[in-house]
Amino acid sequence: MKLQALHIPRGLRGQGLGEAQAYDITLDDGRVASVEPARDSHVRGTLISCPVDAHVHIDKNYTVRDVGPANGNLFAAIGRMEEKRALWSVEHFAQRMERAAQQAWRCGTRALRTHLDWPRPEAPRSLLAFEQLRERWRGRLELQFVSLTPLDVFADAEAGGRIARAVRQSGGVLGAFVYRNEGLVHKLGRVFDLAQEHGLALDFHVDEGLDADATGLRAIAQLTIARGSSGPRVVCGHACSLSVQPAAQAQDTLALCASAGIHLVALPTTNLYLQGAWDATPVPRGITRLREAAAAGLRPALATDNVQDAFYPYGSYDLLETFGLGVQMAHLAPAGDWLDAVTTHPAAALGLSWDGRIAPGCPADLVVLAATDEYELLDPEGRARTVIRAGRVLQQQDKEQAP
Ligand SMILES: [Zn+2]
């Protein structure tokens, strides 16, 4: 297959592609065979590697009709979910997870990392549904999971050990919900110990609120630095409080994150909706300092987070929708330069085997967007896309039959 006169954003170009305005690309046997400067300089679209969604919650999606939206109150949402979760069967989880995977796949997503609520030492029912889903989608959609446990649970060494063992057995990532906890550094230290002991990567929900004294991100960066090169790969999601801290303090934390090699993930939909006062139009936006993070040397990602649940009652698994919202709300310009935040940056955060850069030899898992320049990227017509998986255009019947 040949693709002609497509713009490839700079951050997505593999080595040696140079500075052409557009490229002609040949695909062969499921891979990119060649990438050459286009003969016709009239740009016909934008080529990106398939997006990677670094942070979702497919164990609670589509439940807002049952649970109700917790307008602006994260902890109310957590409480309501807690009551309902016990009533959900494996089949109930499985149906909702499958719906998410189908939509992500149709939209071109190649990998998806979900958090699974894991409030007690025993593995949640959702894990079985997830493992079946991961098996069904193997080779099409790479699925990863993170255990999402309140940090305080790790104060109990036995409980923490049980969780870490189960996560390792199921091939997952260890996680925790961190927000202004008592003895925060000590408890985080336990989580790092468990990760090292069991060879697990880490992924935190950290500082998801607008209290300026929520400084979990800083503590995680310091711990990561202290553990050195033998420490785990660390992803931090949310970091909302960074947006309301004094600029100098935030910069200092981001510099620590950069030297720690932390992967920062922002979740615009949920945090724009959930954070901020609900008695009037909120001025605080809830989204973390993405431009400052990039300036400090981090490679931040944008991800979907909640879809139609108590935390965020709207949304979908079209990561390019989230990208568009992030561009507008966090002033990410030029937008074309930020496509990294849904492709190469999350690929690094998830430790994927392909970094998402397009070059001869890379997988032909690509998305052609109709947008001919960055100004059309947020336009519904510009965002119209052709999804290519393993060198074949994903046709409507593939979509219906998948997996
Ligand atoms: Zn989340």
Query: Tokens 């593999």 identify what position?
Result: 14
Tokens of 351: 């430790």
Which pLDDT band, with edges at 50, 70 and 90, does 216 fall under? very high
pLDDT at 357: 98
Q: Are 144 and 111 in contact (CB under 8 A)?
A: yes
pLDDT higher than threshold 80 for residue 167: yes
Q: Which residues contact 369 (CB under 8 A, 6 or more apart)?
A: 45, 46, 47, 48, 320, 377, 382, 383, 384, 385
Domain with CATH 3.20.20.140 in the chain: 52-349
Residue ranges near ligand 1 (ion) with Cβ within 5 Å: 305
**How many Å lie between the centroid of ligand 1 and the Cα of residue 144?**
14
Q: Could you name the CATH architecture of 2-49+356-401?
A: Roll (2.30)
Give distance in angstroms: CA of 305 to centre of ligand 1: 5
Residue pointed to by tokens 């286009």: 38
Mean pLDDT of the chain: 94
Residues 243-261: tens digit of each pLDDT: 999 999 999 999 999 999 9
How far is the centre of ligand 1, averaged over its atoms, from the C-alpha of 46 (Å)? 30
User: With bands split at pLDDT 50, 70 and 90, how would you rate the model's confidence at 72?
Assistant: confident
Please determine, for residue 332, whether its predicted confidence score (pLDDT) is greater than 70.
yes
318 by DSSP, 3-state: which? coil
Distance 238 CA to ligand 1 centre (A): 7
Q: Rounded to whole angstroms, what are the CA distances from 138 to 129, 167, 317? A: 14, 19, 18
Cβ distance 103 to 137 under 8 Å?
no
* pLDDT average, residue stretch 186-203: 97
Residue 214 neighbours by CB under 8 Å, 6+ apart: 179, 180, 207, 240, 241
Q: CA-CA distance, 225 to 220, in Å (whole number)? A: 9
Mean pLDDT for 332-352 is: 97
Beta bridge mates, 25: 3, 35
Task: Give the residue-averaged pLDDT of 143-152.
Answer: 98
Distance CA 108, CA 398 (A): 12
- The CA dihedral of 198, 112, 117, 85, to the nearest 10 degrees, is -140
208 catalytic residue (yes or no):
yes
Cα end-to-end distance, the chain, whole Å: 23
Residue 142 Cα to ligand 1 midpoint, Å, equals 19
Distance 72 CA to ligand 1 centre (A): 15
* 359 CA from centroid of ligand 1 (Å): 33
Report which DSSP code applies to 43. -
Contact in structure between 46 and 335 (CB atoms under 8 Å): no
33-54 pLDDT, tens digit per residue, is 999 999 987 999 999 999 999 9
Lowest mean pLDDT among 144-158, 276-290, 365-379: 276-290
Q: Do 50 and 108 touch, CB atoms closer than 8 A? A: yes
**CATH match for 52-349 among 3.20.20.140, 3.40.50.10800, 3.40.50.300, 3.40.50.1820:** 3.20.20.140
Q: Could you tell me which residues are beta bridge partners of residue 113?
A: 144
Catalytic residue among 142, 208, 292, 374: 208
Peptide bond into 334 cis (omega under 30): yes
pLDDT at site 277:
67
State the distance from the centre of ligand 1 to the C-alpha of 358, rounded, in angstroms: 29
Residue range(s) in the chain whose domain bears CATH number 2.30.40.10: 2-49+356-401
Most confident of the following: 307-311, 342-346, 398-402: 342-346
| pTM of the shown model | 0.95
Q: Compute, in angstroms, the gap from residue 237 CA to the centroid of ligand 1.
A: 7
